[in-house]
Structure 1
Amino acid sequence: MSAYVNLAYDYPVLGAFWTILWIFLWVLWVMLLFRVIGDIFRDDQLGGWGKAAWLLFTVFLPFLGVFVYVLARGREMGDREIRHAQAQRRAFDEYVREAAAGPGSTSAADELAKLSDLRAKGDISDLEFQRAKEKILH
């Protein structure tokens, strides 16, 4: 057992700092790469051949491809991200409205239209119409 064993205290603090820094930068790089690839597919203004060219450029020359993509299309990339987030928010709000309304619920305007039809047919009196209308509106 004369072999040298590396212990934790044999690894200098500056070496640990540099290791953590490189790991952080690598994770940041991977996140940026996937964000660029996602933006390539999300862009509606870019045609099929343009998407294929950018994708090949970022896959085969990733550092240069991502750098050029961010320089050339970085501003629109942020705008597309904002529009996508707003569209998701609108879709979520619409879903919540539909779910809260329930499957058989109708709007106040629909109920007022039905009441008006009933009054026009003579099925309910004006007094009954006014009472039902107050219930719907309050």
Structure 2
Amino acid sequence: MSGRKIGEKTVSIPEVKKIMEAVKEQIEEIDSEEGLSHFQEITHAYVNKFAKMSEKDAIKIQKFLIDKYEIEENYAITIVNIDPHTVPELRMILEKSFAGKSLNDEQLQDLLAQIEELKTS
């Protein structure tokens, strides 16, 4: 199955997982014998292994980081993909971010707590 490029958007691993599930369903509806291509199979396996939260939580956290902390989209997506649990992990992700550089350890700890709260709500 070949595709065509419609648009381009940066997405997190949980979002890719949802997209791949939809692609898999569509392919099975069209031709259940064909299945996913080799590349699609590898991508599907990867996102199933490495998605650390639901797509809904990923979007919610990404929006929160961009709106409240003015963190750039690519760093917000990286935070969603890695799901850091400690201040040093979060600092490593944000060390080159314009908004992230201005956050001290206490603010980063608060940010981690807010992310955890968003995941459980």
TM-score using structure 1 length: 0.25
TM-score using structure 2 length: 0.27
Larger Rg belongs to = 1
Please identify which structure carries the higher helix content. 1
